[in-house]
Structure 1
């Protein structure tokens, strides 16, 4: 299918919900106060690197994106463009671009396993979120981080898993892959700031150690 047609399909086709290979990780319904629920959401959210095949629904995307665009930004300029990619052909092509770039290179973390069969830079999540920033604003990096956190927390609140994907950023911003940004209708003057895998979690990771000593109170 030609790239432009794939893009149109991605924009206008109905979202298909596939069957699970395995049931989602059991989610706990929180019954405390609103304040307690917010704090609980922040403290229990984890990066997910294993997903079921069940697709995220249009209603869920609407909830997450509404939460996303309510993120604060400097002077309310909202210097971001957000793309939600669910088309399997586009996801496959983006993953292949990473594999092409990665050949012969060394990586840390999960990207170090790129030579393994079935590797996916977005952990085989059925949905990929791309956040692009306005390059004319240095502070748009910070604003992109704020909208990122809104996406991570709102996704967790409705039982979905996410993982920020920094390794994919330079690949999408590589001039050789400009056609991908054009396919996603990223405007001129913008570049990818961060990406997020999104889907139903198939794991429940334990929180890694936090370093409380990095916080100092000056009285």
Structure 2
């Protein structure tokens, strides 16, 4: 159930035009609980099925992304959704070449294993690029990222943010990939996301509540 609170209603006429009503939606009951539950149960997924994300699911996720707040509403990001297997495979090949002789933390540390895929074999790969000249653009990208993660989880899909690929895709020798994705030259990759149907249900890692301090 949702309750509509009328924040303000200003009825007047200027040249025959009426001020639009302003509404705020406040969620209560099961809807409110579902929103909080969605936030608390989202996990990074590193095992995916072969099933592709549908067009309608992508529409919902991308609408959620562009509705994220941004500084001065500049929406200073470019988002590319890649479902072309050839492009995804090429990015993985370049990562394996880039990784040679390097050490990584997390799942990327297993890059020497046969069949390794830095995108965890997800069928959809998302690139979020931010405007280089905008000091707040990376924050804007992070806000869009969270909307993508949460909306995907609400649809029963899985996601995994992929920071390891950021320096690779921003390297000059891989500028052809960004050009292929039609990312403007004055933008740089900020974060990537693996997206698909989850094939695992991981437990939540420890959360550090002592990171939060309330000053009264």
TM value normalised by structure 1: 0.85
Matched residue SS, 1:128? strand
The counterpart of 1:111, out of the listed 104, 108, 113, is 108
Find the counterpart in structure 2 of residue 125 from structure 1: 122
User: Whole-Å Cα distance in 2 between the matches of residues 179 and 169 of structure 1?
Assistant: 15
2:64 maps to 1:101: no
- Choose from 21, 36, 39 the match for 1:39: 36
How big is the shift at 1:216? 0.8
Matched with 1:172 is 169
Aligned match of 2:62: 65
Instruction: State the partner residue of 1:7.
Output: none
**Superposed CA RMSD:** 0.7
Report deviation, 1:214: 1.0
Deviation of the 1:73 alpha carbon:
0.3
Partner of 1:189: 186
Displacement after TM superposition at 1:37 (Å) = 0.6
1:90 aligns with 2:87: yes
Q: How far 1:125 moved relative to its partner?
A: 0.3
Match of 2:196 among 194, 199, 203: 199
Number of positions where the alignment pairs a residue of Structure 1 with one of Structure 2: 188
Consecutive unaligned residues of structure 2, counting only runs of 5 or more, are 1-28
CA distance in 1, matches of 2:215, 2:185: 44
1:138 Cα deviation after fit: 1.3
CA distance in structure 2 between the partners assigned to 1:214 and 1:169 by the alignment: 27
Separation in 2 of the partners of 1:210 and 1:71? 25
More strand by share: 2
Deviation at 1:33, TM superposition (A): 1.3
Q: Greater Rg, structure 1 or structure 2? A: 2
**TM-score when scaled to structure 2?**
0.86
Q: What is residue 6 of structure 2 aligned with on the other side?
A: none
SS at match of 2:173: helix
Partner SS for 2:199 = coil
- CA distance in structure 1 between the partners assigned to 2:98 and 2:128 by the alignment: 21
Deviations 1:77-100 (A, max 9, x none): 000000000000000000011011
Q: Which runs of 5+ in 1 are unaligned?
A: 1-31
1:214 and 1:106 map into 2 onto residues whose CA distance is 29
Quote how far apart the aligned CAs of 1:188 are.
1.4
